[in-house]
Amino acid sequence: MSEQSSRARRSTRVTRRQLLGGVGGAAVGGAVLGGAGGYLAASSDPSSAEGSAAAGAPLTIGALVPVTGPGAADGEEMLRGMRLAAAELNASGGVGGRPIRFSVLDAKDQAPNVMTTAVRKFVSDRVALILSPNLTSTSVELPIAGRAGVPLIHMNTLQASVDFAVEHGYRNIFEACPPETWYGPGFVATMDELTKSGAFEPRTRTAAMVSATDGYSISIAQGFKAEVEKLGWRVVQFDKYVSPQAEWGGVLGRVRHNDPDVLFQSDFYAGNEASLIKQFVAAPTRTLVYQQYAPSVPQYRELSGSASDGVLWATVTGSILDDEPGRRFAARYREKYDREPGRSNAGSQYDVVRLWAYAAGLAGDPYDFDAVGDNIRNLVFRGINGTYHMVDQTCVPYPGKYRDPSLGMPLQTYQIQDGEQVLISPSPYSTGRFKTPPWLA
């Protein structure tokens, strides 16, 4: 542990009597927050401090999210999830009687200078936790948090980020979702299941691929290409573009010429994917369309409208809103924000605040960073987005890695049907079945 974190721990240690005196009874999915209920605190955002039963010195969480830029709509989801979790935990007594508050900085488009400056500020301000759902692709910001010892939880969905932290011995850095390497094989498995069941009948076993040029998107595209070729399919088109992208005439002209069975788009920005599907359905081919992650953000449906009916998409961290904990979460979200939560980062950030709270409560001191990190590493925690079970400081997918859904986070595949998000796999989470898209009917 660093000298800075040791000083912080000595100055803020909470006795076992104080901890137990502040315990609340907040529940997380299928897990009860035992000691954590008394360990969470008020936010600088007034909405998270409403009804707070915590009266001690606040604990600050550094939140580095895209407030502006192409990911801003997803950033809103992230912040709402974080603040909802803090409001609930504060109302039950906070962490050790101390309320949670947030220091929010804008990640914008994850430029290296923006990210490193923000993480340095959080470390200097002695935050108890850094939440940075997105990171750079080069992990340039990770040594700052890693050397300071402060826990950093991200959803960068990049194996390179995980490898960097593990190889450099930064045991305080966690990826709270499976990495991107599972996306391509996951969708190929879904395609194969649909083909074998007769729900989808490919004509030529050909695929077209369209990918943004960032490392995340390219890695997913390459994973899909490798897996689909193992099944004997041919990739007849592989176009790359720089985000943001709104004009798809050239790309779709080649799609219409190649007439593939599958169009696979790898990206994470709602605007890019919504504009592509709107232009595709204006003159569609007999092609199954898969889009990456972005349909989880409500903005995607607002932009695409009925054009996206029939689209398949997936996320390695999706909110399970159709079971009892998920329905309760969605109802609280609606009550607080007067809108529906998206299918990914509202739930994921709600979860990670509570996961950290549980780990801090078990440690007895949120500034005992080594103990908090060990607890995060060792917990099996059921949240709104499924099971958080760290292996080499990242979550692993069900059913790709584990056949037991109590140990793996479900890699979820959805289809948009009549304006609704229908989870078609994996079981036991699925809520419906694949339907032939309107342009194939």
CATH number of the domain at 29, please: 3.40.50.2300
Give the model's pLDDT for residue 130. 98
- pLDDT tens for residues 320-335? 999 999 999 999 999 9
List, in sequence order, the alpha helices (H) in 106-214.
Answer: 112-124, 142-148, 159-167, 183-197
Residue 433 lies in a domain: no
208 and 295 inside one domain: yes
Q: Are residues 76 and 206 in the same domain?
A: no
Please give the pLDDT value at position 441: 86
H/E element, 290: strand 288-292
CA distances 191 to 187, 227, 301, 378, 430, Å, are 6, 11, 23, 35, 16
Same domain flag for 116 and 233: no
* Residue 275: closest CA among 243, 236, 316: 243
- Structural domain count, the chain: 2
Q: Does residue 87 sit within a domain? A: yes
Please say whether the dihedral angle defined by the alpha carbons of residues 304, 309, 315 and 321, taken in this order, is positive or negative: positive
Beta bridge partners of 212: 241
Domain that holds residue 228: 181-315+411-425
Amino acid 309 reads D
The size of the chain, in residues, is 441
Residue 53, pLDDT score:
65
Residue 435 falls inside a structural domain: no
* Residues 89 and 209 both lie in one domain: no
Q: Are residues 145 and 98 in the same domain?
A: yes
* The predicted structure's pLDDT at residue 45: 53
Task: Indicate whether 432 belongs to any domain.
Answer: no
- CA-to-CA distance for 127 and 146, rounded, in angstroms? 14
Q: What pLDDT sits at residue 291?
A: 97
Residue 434 domain flag: no
**Which residues, given as ranges, of the chain have pLDDT below 70?**
1-55
Phi and psi of 14, rounded to 5°? -110, 130
pLDDT of residue 395: 97
Q: Do both 281 and 329 map to the same domain?
A: no
What CA–CA distance (Å, rounded) separates 39 from 19?
A: 7
Whether residue 163 sits in one domain with residue 22: yes
Q: Rounded to an integer, what distance in angstroms lies between the CA atom of residue 406 and that of residue 410?
A: 10
Q: Would you state the pLDDT for residue 22?
A: 34
Residues 198, 299 within the same domain: yes
